[in-house]
Amino acid sequence: MISPTATSPQLTDRGLKNVFRVCGRDDQQGEVAAKLIADRYKGKKVAIVHDKQAYGQGLADDVKRRLNAAGITEAAFTSITAGEKDYSALITRLKSDGVDVLYYGGYDQELGLIARQAADQQFRPQIIGADGIQPQSYWNIAGDTAEGTLFTFSPDPQRNPAAKPVVEALQAKNIRTDGFTLFAYAAVQTYAEAVQKANSAKPDAVAKALRAGPSFDTVVGSLSFDDKGDLKQPGYVFWAWRNGEKVQVD
C-alpha cells in the first residue's frame, strides 16, 4: 500500500512493513499551523474546533499540544458533529468569547457551513485549517466568506517542471491536477520504480526496495522513505483561498 492521501500518524506508527505514503502526516501539519499561530497571531484569542473524527481530532489535539507547549492557552477547545447543518450555537459562543483565530480540524463541508454562518452573524475570525479543506467544495459551500482562509498543504506539485507533461496530458482529458491528483500519480510511479529496482512484484521485495531507495523520481519531486514508510522530507506550506482559487502563500 502506498497512500497518496492518508495523513494519520496511526497509519505508519503501527509498524506495518508493507505500508507507505507519499504525503505528510497530521502531526507535521500541526507543527506548521501552531508555529504560524504563535508567530503571527501572538496575543490573539484562539479557538480550536474539531469534528470528533480521527483526522480532525488528531489535528486539533496536536495543534493544542504545540500551542500549550509554546505558552499559549486556547480560549476554547470544543467539537462539532460532522454532518450537522446548523452551527449557530457554536458561532455565538465563539463570538461572545471574542475569538480572533479559529483553527479547525476536519473537512470542507462542515467548515464551509461554519464560515458562512459565522459571516451571517458578522463574525469573521481568521480561519485556519489543514488539507481537508483544500477541495473546491469548501469555496462552493462558503462562497465569499471563505476568502482569506488559510490551510496547510504540500507545496504545489504543479510547479515542478518534471510534472509539466503529466499535467498537460491530464488537463487535455479534463482531469483536474490540483489537490491530491498528482500525489496519486506519484504513488503509482513510486511503486513501478520499486518493482523495477527489486526486479520483482512480490510485496516483500517491493517493500524492501522502497525502504532501500535511495530515492524515487516522481511528479511531486524526489521521494525517499524512512523505516516507518513515511517520507523523509514531507514539507508543508500555507495556502489561502482567494477569489475562489487556492493560492500557495508560504
Q: At what angle do helices 108-120 and 88-96 cross, to 10 degrees?
A: 60
Query: CATH second-level architecture of 26-153?
Result: 3-Layer(aba) Sandwich (3.40)
Q: How far apart are CA 141 and CA 106, in angstroms?
A: 15
pLDDT of residue 179: 84
pLDDT of residue 162: 84
Residue keyed to cell 483536474: 176
160-236 to CATH, choices 3.40.50.720, 3.40.50.2300, 3.20.20.140, 3.90.1150.10: 3.40.50.2300
> Can you read off the three cell numbers belonging to residue 128?
485556519
- Per residue in 218-233, is it b (16+ CB within 10 Å) or e — as a string? bbbbebebeebbbbee
Read off the amino acid at residue 139: W
Check for a shared fold between 26-153 and 160-236.
yes
In the chain, the DSSP E strands lie at 2-3, 20-21, 46-50, 76-79, 101-105, 126-129, 150-153, 216-218, 221-223, 237-242, 245-248
> Which residues of the chain, if any, have pLDDT below 50?
none
Alpha helix stretches (DSSP H) within 84-202:
88-96, 108-120, 136-142, 164-172, 181-198
Tens of pLDDT, residue by residue over 123-160, are 999 999 999 999 999 999 999 999 999 999 988 888 88
Query: Residue 20: which of 220, 168, 194, 246 has the closest Cα?
Result: 194
Residue spans of the domains in the chain: they are: 26-153, 160-236
CA 45: distance to chain centroid? Answer: 23
Residues in the chain, total: 250
- Beta-bridged to residue 241, according to DSSP, are 246
Q: How far apart are CA 85 and CA 238, in angstroms?
A: 28
pTM of structure = 0.83
